Amino acid sequence: MSELAYLPATEALARFAARELSPVELLDAVVARAEQAEPHVNAFAERWFERAMEQARQAEDRYLRGTARPLEGLPVALKEEQPIAGHPLRDGSLLLRDNVADVTHPVVDRVVAAGGIVHARTTTPEFCAAGFTHSDLWGVTRNPWSLGHSSGGSSGGSGAALAAGTAVLATGSDIGGSIRIPASFNGVVGYKPPYGRVPALPPYNLDHYCHDGPMARTVADCALLQNVIAGQDPRDHVSLPAPPPIPPYSGSLAGRRVAVCVRLGDYAVEPEVVAATWDAARALTEAGAAVEEVELTWTRAEIMRAAWAHYGAIFGPIVAEEVAAHGDGLTRYARDFMERSLKAAAETGFYGALKIEARVHEDLAALFLRFDALLCPASGTPALLAGEDYLDTPLVVDGVVLDHNLEAPLTVPFNLASRCPVLSVPSGRSPLGVPTGVQVVGRPYDDATVFEVGAAVTAALPWYADAAWRPQP
């Protein structure tokens, strides 16, 4: 495969500016890689290769004229859930197969305005309602590291595209781990920004569990995209002013204190994930941080009780509304999500969910009085099986039978604690051949620190800078 397909975005920009590489050459390599990998991986809901090539030629001209923008000439894959006016918006559902968007998401506008070349849109599970990515509309999106395993979800197409070398940057969204789960499963970097940091569209912008964010193969590339998409937008009245740009990693964590909590209470975590998490913790120690193990008294059941009640107040009714408008025809997992969440909303209620959220916030507030960041696994299992919905066959993690696939990742607590920024970075490779990942959780709205700590983890390991750390489909 071409080495160019795995070129970091930051390095590509530097080579564009130095006239050592053309945006056309980079896009050629990415498209060639897509032609090779896509029949196996199935990460793209749409391909815009011809249009992208014309844009690459225009980007080449901008570099010659000295008018390049921050993402000029970089191939970016957009999650299909983020609407583009005049184009399909199907959310992986046959119910919406004829739906066309009439608005464009602020993230899309900002990527395009910054010179990003949108060459593809990426797959999701139906209504983004799962921690895996397969649907009756688009089929199964597979993990490039092991085609028998899932790419995760719901931003599974974006994660798989980055791992497969078919995109340089990608976007995702996250209501329960939908950026961080595929980042972990595919061995890439994904960022759940704090609530309001990245603008969205109504009414979803008003849901504090909802986060749009960047995905990339390196921490620096993820920061590059985050710096572009952050900041207020007049269409989103709860969006926040842009913070200072996330700076490059200095190479040291001297003076930083990082807590490590492997199970976040009673989450089930496989031994290889535990070992990889401690490998990441040792990398932080070697970078100069003071690292200390802590315990949290959360329970998985309590966290999910709050989450299901929240989903039942918002996402359950969204799916039910589409069924009422278009007729039945949901995947089994989307129907289960709708019914489970509506039941939880009736039983627990909004106030009951808020009381659980309040405890999570209180515990994190106490922790962050002593520490700058919290390190924990992104998922208790390295991967889920491709095409499996875990409705007939329960998901078992470290000997524990789980009630739903969203209990496998350790991501949902930080949607409850939505103001905390969370960066998922690779932590190792499991015996299954798929990567593992860790989450770096920061104080509310302290974006820079989680990127600093995440960069220290990845600096200790070769990742995609080394040809050995690449899948081979």
Residues tagged active-site:
79, 154, 178
Cα(138)–Cα(38) distance, integer angstroms: 12
Q: Tell me how far apart the alpha carbons of residues 169 and 275 are, in angstroms, rounded to a whole number.
A: 29
The gap from C-alpha 271 to its chain's centroid, in whole angstroms, comes to 24
Closest by CA to 360, choosing from 282, 291, 305, is 305
- Through-space distance between the first and last CA atoms of the chain, rounded to whole angstroms: 10
Q: Do 473 and 223 form a contact (C-beta atoms < 8 A)?
A: no
Residue 335 contacts by C-beta under 8 Å, 6 or more apart in sequence?
none
Ramachandran category for residue 214: left, alpha or beta (phi over 0 → left; psi -120 to 50 → alpha): beta
Q: Which of 4, 32, 31 is nearest to 20 (CA)?
A: 4
Residue pair 188/217 in contact (Cβ under 8 Å)? The answer is: yes
For 417-468, the three-class secondary structure string (H helix, E strand, C coil) is CCCCCEEEEEEEECCCCCEEEEEEEECCCCHHHHHHHHHHHHHCCCHHHCCC
Which residue, chain included where needed, has tokens 């309001």? Answer: 196
Q: How far apart are CA 471 and CA 380, in angstroms?
A: 22
Contact 135, 92 (CB under 8 A): yes
**Which tokens sit at 156?**
């599974």
Count CB atoms within 10 A of the CB of residue 419. 18
User: φ, ψ for residue 108 (rounded to 5)?
Assistant: -65, -45
Q: State how far the alpha carbon of 149 is from the alpha carbons of 258, 387, 432, 451, 472, in Å.
A: 32, 8, 9, 28, 14
Which own/partner contact pairs does 463-466 have at CB distance under 8 Å and 24+ positions apart? 463/187, 463/217, 463/218, 463/426, 464/6, 464/8, 464/187, 464/217, 464/218, 465/8, 465/218
Cis peptide before 203 (omega within 30 of 0): yes
157, HSE (Cβ side, Cα atoms, 13 Å): 33
Residue 463 contacts residue 426 (beta carbons within 8 Å): yes
Token pair 């913790």 in the structure block, residue: 281
- Helices marked H in 368-393: none
